[in-house]
Every structure is written in C-alpha cells, then in structure tokens.
Amino acid sequence: MKSRGMVAVTAVAVALVAVLVSGGAALARNNQPNDSGPAVQHDLSAPLTQLAIGVTPEPDKKEKNEKKKAGRLPIQGGSTSAPDPALQASPGTAAAPAAGLNFEGIGQGFTGPSGTFSVNSAPPDPNGAVGPNHYVQIVNSDFAIFNKAGTPVYGPVPTNTLWSGFGGGCQSNNDGDATVAYDRAADRWVFQQFSVSTTPYLDCVAVSKTGDPTGQYYRYSFQYANFPDYPKLGVWSDAYYVTFNLFTSSTGPFVGPEICAWDRASMLSGLAATQQCKTLGSTDGGMLPSDSDGSTAPPAGAPNPILEFGTNDLLLYKFHVDWSNTANTALTGPTTLPVAAFAPACNGGGTCIPQSGTTQQLDSLADRLMYRLEYRNFGGHDSLVVNHSIVAGSSVGVRWYELRNVTSATSDPVLYQQGTYAPDSSYRWMGSAAMDGNGDIGLGYSVSSSAIHPAIRYTAHAISDPLGVMGQGEGSIIEGTGSQTKYLGVQALSRWGDYSSLSVDPIDDCTFWYTNEYIAANGAFNWHTRIGTFKVAGCGSTATPDFTVSASPASQTVTAGGTTSYTATATATNGYSGTVNWSVSGLPSGTTGTFNPASSTPTASSTLTVVTNSSTTAGSYPLTITASDGTLTHTTQVTLVVQAQAPATDFTISATPSSRTVSRGASTSYTVTIGAVNGFNGSVSLSVAGLPTKGTASFSPNPTTSTSTLTVTTWRKSSPGTSTLTITGTSGGVSHSTTVQLVIQ
C-alpha cells in the first residue's frame, strides 16, 4: 500500500505538466529610484592573518539582545484549509544518506586559533561555503576558517576584521547579517556584511585576491539611502548579485526590496567598481538572487533569475545588467508560476515553533524564501532549487521546489517538481536546499516540538525518486540537548536562525556541507552551531573521463572592422583522451569566429580568431566558447567589446542667395560656403554646371577651405529665363553639390 504522502505527491507530479506562466517579458512593476553608483571606497588589504582583529562592542550581560533586525515583510501567501497536495507525510523509503564529517562550528565556548567565542547576541544567522581546501563559516558577526578535516585554521574573529584599516562604518561597526560565498569559476571567496549602526548605511564587500581565504582581499563599500536589511548574495557570471529588504530605519516602515549587481569583473581585479540596482514597491519582499554552482556557467548573457513567493505562486524576475551601457540594465517580470496552495507558517512568519521543556516558542521566519536560491546548468536544462516554511497539517513543514528552463530567452520557465516535507508531527523549518552535480537535491533544516529540543537534520531527493518526494529518509547531524528560553526569565528570545546554509563541495560536486543552529543546554544567548556533511548514494561513484574548458583573456576590445583573438584550452580529467570540437556563439551580426585548430586533444589549446566588420554595432558581447565530444559538452565565457570606428571626416557645401536676377550682358555673384564635418580641414575644388548659352563663371578663391565668391557673367544676346546652376565641391574622392537659380531679364 502506498503511503498517504506518496499518493499525494504522485498526483502533484502528474499535475506539474500543466503549469501556467505569464508576464515574463514585462518590465518589473514599480521600478523606483535606487542606489546605483560607484563604490564609496575600495582598497587591497594585507593578508587576513596580518590584519588587526576587529572589535565588537562587548555589551553588559543585561544588555544582550537580538542583533539589528528590521520589521516583518508583507505576506502574499494566503491561508488555506484545503489539504496540501504536495504533502509528503512519511519519510522516504530509502535509508538516509550517511552522515559524514560532523564538527562544531562557531558558538558558545567554541575555540579556534584566535581564541574562544562568547555569545553576546542572537540570532546566529549561520552561513557557510565550501571550497577546494577550506570551509568558511560565518555567523551574525564572527567567522572562522576550517580545513576540510574540520579543524579551525583561523578565527573565530569579528567579521569586521576583514575591513581592519579600511576606515568608516565597515571597520568600526560589526553589525552582522553577513554571508560568504565561494566563486567557483574564479576560485575566490566573497564576503558581505552590512554597516547600519551609523549612517551612511553601507554594505561592505570583500573579495579574496586568490583562492586562499587567509590571504589578501579586495575591499569595497557600497552606500544605500535606506536601511538595507537581510542582504543575500548570489554569484553569477557577469556580477555578484545581492538582494535587500529596505526599511527607512531599523524601526521604520518597510519600503520594498532592492536588487543590486556588483561589478564582478572589476572586483576580481581590485579595480574601481560600481553597483547597478533596481527597486520594487512595498508589496514585494523576501527576494533571493540566483547563486550559480557547478562546473558549467549560466548561458552567456543570461540575466540573473530573482525569486520571491506570492499567493500560492512563485514570482520569477530576471535582472539583466549591462556594464557598458547602463541604460540597457533592466529588471523584468514577474513570470508567475502557480504552486500547490500553501499558508506561510505561524500566521505569516511569526512565532509558533514549540520546544521541549519551555513555553518559549521560536520564530519561523516564514515571511520569505530561505537562502540559497541555487542555480545549476546541466547543458540540456538548467535548474533552480529553493525552499520556505509553510503550515503542514497541525505543524510546520518545508516546502521545496525545483524550477527548470529559467534562463531561456525564448521559452517560459516551468515548475518541474515541488514537495512539502513533513513526515511526522514535529515542526520543520529554517531550511536550505541545494542540488549536486548528479541532479540530486539535498535539504537541511531545523526540527523541534514540545517533545524534543531543536535538532539539525537533513534529507534528500535522489534523481531516481518520484517527482516531489524526498525519498532518501531523514538523517541527523545533531540532536539538540537544550531549548532557547527567555532571557533572565523575562525577555522573550524567539528569533532562531535567521537562516541556515547548504553548499556543495566543488571537488566532487556531490558532498553537501550544512550548517545550522542548535542549543546544548537550556538557556538564552548560549547558542551553538554545527557543520556536517552528507552525500547521496551513487553521486560521483565512478570517475568519468572528462575535460574542463577555460579561455583567456577574459575580455578583448576591438574597433569595428578589426580582428582579435582568444586562447581556448581543454584540460583532460580522469584520464580523458578524446578529441574536442570547438565552437563559439554570441557573436554580433556580421562577425565571424574561427578556431585553429577546429578540434584538439586535451590538454591542448586552440586560437579563436574573431573578425568584425565596419558595420558591427558597438557594444559588449558575451561569447560562449563550447568544447564538445559526443555527450560531453563544456563551456566558458569571454567578452568581446566592439568600439565604433572613428567617424570619417567630410564637408558640406551651400550657396547664398538661392536666386539672383540679372540683365543680359551683366554679372552677378553668389557666396559658396564649405562646412567641416568630423574635423575636416582639407581644401575643396569648386565647379559649376548649367550656365546659360555663352555664360561664364569664376570662383575666388578656388580651391577654398571656407568660402568662395562665384561670379556669373551673361551674354548680351542671352535669352530671358531661369537657369538652375549646380555648384559642386570635390576633395579627394568625396563630392557634394548644391544649386542656385539665375534669372535673366
């Protein structure tokens, strides 16, 4: 017999083929003035290990409080009493993925090379990212760096350590809401943290100079007119994207969301950088930018998908940024993707999560999507995965989604699958979802009830599972042994999270790394965090011969009609020995791209020669270089910048007056004027045609660089009437003419 959850999800899977989408090409509603402009400041730091450790003001015990957070967001998801057709009310039938590495993160009593951490604020906002050799964890106002064995090699230190010596609010304030991302394509680490204790409001950004997170950082600060709450970061090919919930102040009303793009190319080189931003009205909020994972970049020129939820739907926007011509930057949408009806948990994001041993309940933060919005390009399709917390019967569950076809310029995105994971009566919330290189989906979250303390657990959807089903059981990273109670028995401490973080190891593209909060013993301001790994069985079990692709330089500039080149390289992995065929797309009209050689055996390079013509439109063109061998296809991106040819010099010719009247046998004159175009400074030879019988004409001077007098003399026996005189000026191979009238009486 099928379980209740299995039956419901199967029905949803069938219904998914009829998803309705609309509005994808429309300009995003309510675009308002925004914070576009250059970074206020930027520099290059000393190595992280040489920076002075930042300072977080240490509050008196009675002054401990929740970190600076603004208010609630407008909730568009309505309540519903109907059964959830996406509900999975029982665990998956397969065993949960085995827990791998499992170690303590930053929290009360955590000790690393820089000392011992003491909690003085809440919530912890646990977030992390994994790279080839390190895992970096960041909590609300501190961070630490671990090796891949789970041993701390740096930290814990206040996050504003990254901006020691930078000056301003980035150095002096340590306000939190920080996140960290690993830019896989560039092998860099990206940190951001807002500065809101003082004005101007800032978001502080640090991009590592190399792949070593303990090395130097290019540092930036960007300014905002409103309180930029809840910043969330996404890595994309053309920019680092960030979303904010704007408030007039930490206690002021909600203004609306702002989505900004930071100039990734400039920041990777430590150059002056700008941000381009778009805003929406106060009926939107809780938006997330797409964060690209995997070895294949998004399609060249693809806008960054931006997502929020509405009333029983997902709203997908697309943010296209143009660094060469900011007038082309646009936020379009939304495309509306109907989903199974839901009600945001806890009456729209409030406090209702029970804990064992206390009446203090926890915040669901169900008024927004949960970080991250992970993107993957599989070549044949691309995917987004995301989650949020909703009512699930008498408790709370995690609603998760996979969207496909999200970057296409010609087809609508689709809701490929969805599910609500609530396998028992416990409350599950504060989730984070991600997809591995095999297409399996991992989901980490918090679990609590009146019978258990908050725990950190996970589950997974294998590609072999039915659509909408987390079929891989439920695993545990740690079961909490305490609950979050009121502070000093009086102050309610309900905020939990505000988010957790699931990332995928770039080495095997299979291992999920998850961090979240738990409590070791009943109390307030004594939170801990945990970092654990798991992997879906079958992912990466066989090392498939393959290759990677790169190209240099990243950008070339050419004048229309000129030629430039790039070097594309295919590098063999896992014993690959085949032959790759090279191609390029994204070239402007009339431009050709040729590879020499057209095919190569890795590790080998090919030269891409790009030839433009004189009519090629000036602009910045993202080019996708593709190397393929049968079913193996990989791409990389470069940029072609075409500059317009210098305008050719030219001249104009005119004559005054337009008509003269003269008696037979008499003379008259006209003034001929030469006008310079695009800096013309040559001389022009003049001639005239159309004279009456035996009439004569002369120019003085001839040739001329400016003006000349045309004198016309008629014959005494000329017939009365009107003649049209054509005056022609010639310089080199260029000729222009004008006409005047000659009337003989």
Q: What is the pLDDT of residues 357-385, one digit of tens each?
A: 999 999 999 999 999 999 999 988 899 99
Residue 158 lies in a domain: yes
Q: How far apart are CA 254 and CA 260, in angstroms?
A: 18
Q: Is the pLDDT of residue 548 over 60?
A: yes
Q: Is residue 508 a part of any domain in this protein?
A: yes
> 535: helix, coil or strand?
coil
CB of 511 closer than 8 Å to CB of 439: no
Is the distance from CB of 475 to CB of 94 less than 8 angstroms? Answer: no
Tell me which residue of 665, 705, 699 sits closest to 682, measured CA to CA.
Answer: 705
Write a three-state SS string for 345-404.
HHHHHCEEEEECCEEEEEECCCCCCEEEEEEEECCCCEEEEEEEEEEECCEEEEEEEEEE
Give the pLDDT band of residue 6 (cuts 50, 70, 90).
very low
Report how far residue 227's alpha carbon sits from residue 70's, in angstroms, rounded to the nearest whole number: 8
Same domain, 58 and 150: yes
Share of the chain above pLDDT 70, in %: 91
Positive/negative CA dihedral, 567, 573, 578, 581: negative
Mean pLDDT of the chain: 90
What φ, ψ does residue 48 adopt, rounded to 5°? -50, -40
Q: Among 443, 446, 428, which residue's Cα sits nearest to residue 502? A: 443
Is residue 84 within 8 A of residue 11, CB to CB? The reply is no
Query: Quick one: which of 97, 25, 94, 86 has its CA closest to 416?
Result: 86
Q: Which domain holds residue 211?
A: 4-293+305-534
pLDDT attached to residue 29: 60
The letter for the amino acid at 169 is: G
| pLDDT reading at 712 higher than 60 | yes
Q: Is the pLDDT of residue 588 over 70?
A: yes
Per-residue pLDDT tens for 623-653? 999 999 988 888 888 889 999 887 778 999 9
Q: What is the pLDDT of residues 672-706, one digit of tens each?
A: 999 998 889 999 999 999 999 999 999 999 999 99
| Percent of the chain whose pLDDT exceeds 90 | 78
2 falls in which pLDDT band (50, 70, 90)? very low
- Cα–Cα distance for residue pair 510/503, rounded to 1 Å: 10
pLDDT(461) > 60: yes
Using CA atoms, how far apart are residues 146 and 156, in angstroms rounded to an integer? 10
Whether omega before 701 lies within 30 degrees of 0, making that bond cis, reads yes
Nearest residue to 145 (alpha-carbon basis) of 185, 207, 100, 189: 189
The C-alpha atoms of residue 107 and residue 116 are separated, in whole angstroms, by 9
- Both 168 and 228 in one domain: the answer is yes
**Do 378 and 462 belong to one domain?**
yes
Asked whether the beta carbons of 560 and 618 are under 8 A apart, the reply is yes
In a domain, 298, yes or no: no
Q: Which amino acid is at 110?
A: F
pLDDT of 18 > 50? The answer is no
Last residue of a domain, one of 501, 534, 567: 534
What is the average per-residue pLDDT within 43-55? 96
Q: Are strands 546-552 and 563-573 parallel, antiparallel or unpaired?
A: antiparallel
The answer to whether residue 564 is domain-embedded is yes
CATH number of the domain residue 609 falls in: 2.60.40.10
Cα–Cα nearest to 336, from 318, 319, 316: 316
Residues 19-41, mean pLDDT to the nearest whole number: 68
Q: Which structure tokens are listed for 352? A: 């209702």
Residues 586 and 630 in one domain: yes
pLDDT in tens, 234-251: 999 999 999 999 999 988
pLDDT of residue 619: 92
Whether 567 and 459 share a structural domain: no
Q: Do 273 and 189 belong together in one domain? A: yes
Residue 90: CB atoms within 10 A of its CB come to: 15
State the Cα–Cα distance between residues 440 and 504, nearest whole angstrom.
11
Counting the structural domains of the chain, the total is 3
Q: Would you put residue 219 in left (φ > 0), alpha (ψ -120 to 50) or beta?
A: beta
Domain boundary among 500, 534, 568: 534
Q: Which range has the worst mean pLDDT, 384-388, 573-577, 648-652?
A: 573-577
Task: State the Cα–Cα distance between residues 533 and 531, nearest whole angstrom.
Answer: 7
Q: Is residue 299 part of a domain?
A: no
Looking at the structure, do residues 188 and 316 belong to the same domain, yes or no? yes
The reported pLDDT for the residue numbered 68 is 56
Coil/strand/helix, residue 275: strand
DSSP 595-615: EESSEEPSSEEEEEEEE--TT
pLDDT given for residue 566 in this prediction: 94
Per-residue three-class SS string for 134-179: EEEEECCCEEEEEECCCCEEEEEEEHHHHHCCCCHHHHHCCCCCCE
Position 24 scores a pLDDT of: 42
pLDDT at 698: 96
Nearest Cα neighbor of 422 from 404, 451, 447 is 447
- Considering the domain architecture, whether residues 686 and 618 belong to the same structural domain is answered as no
Q: What share of the chain is helix, strand, coil (3-state, %, to 5)?
A: 5, 50, 45
* CB-based contact 126:110 (threshold 8 Å): no
Strands 37-38 and 274-279: antiparallel
Q: Is position 592 within any domain?
A: yes
Q: Please state the separation of Cα 225 from the chain's center in Å.
A: 21
Do 558 and 595 reside in the same domain of the chain?
A: yes
Of the three residues 602, 627, 643, the one that is the final residue of a domain is: 643
Based on the domain organization, do 509 and 554 belong to the same domain?
no
Least confident of 82-96, 456-470, 560-574, 718-732: 560-574
Paired tokens of 346: 């806890």
What does the angle CA 362 – CA 522 – CA 137 come to, to the nearest 5 degrees? Answer: 70
Tokens (6 digits) for 675: 């006008």
The C-alpha angle with vertex 281 and arms to 277 and 287, in degrees rounded to 5, equals: 65
Give CA angle at 576 (572, 581), nearest 5°.
75
Name residues whose C-beta falls within 8 Å of residue 380's C-beta, 6 or more positions apart in sequence: none
Question: Tokens at residue 21, please?
Answer: 């989408």
pLDDT at residue 64 in the model: 56
Contacts of 263 (CB under 8 A, 6+ apart): 239, 273, 274, 275, 323
Mean pLDDT for the stretch of residues 164-192: 97
- Diameter of the chain by CA atoms? 124
CA 30 centroid distance within chain = 21
Flag whether 300 is in a domain.
no
Is the domain of 404 the same as that of 442?
Answer: yes
Is 627 part of a structural domain of the chain?
A: yes
**Same domain, residue pair 147 and 166:** yes
541 Cβ contact partners less than 8 Å away, ≥ 6 residues apart: none
Residue pLDDT, tens place only, 109-145: 999 999 999 998 899 999 999 999 999 999 999 999 9
User: What integer pLDDT is reported at residue 73 of this predicted model?
Assistant: 79
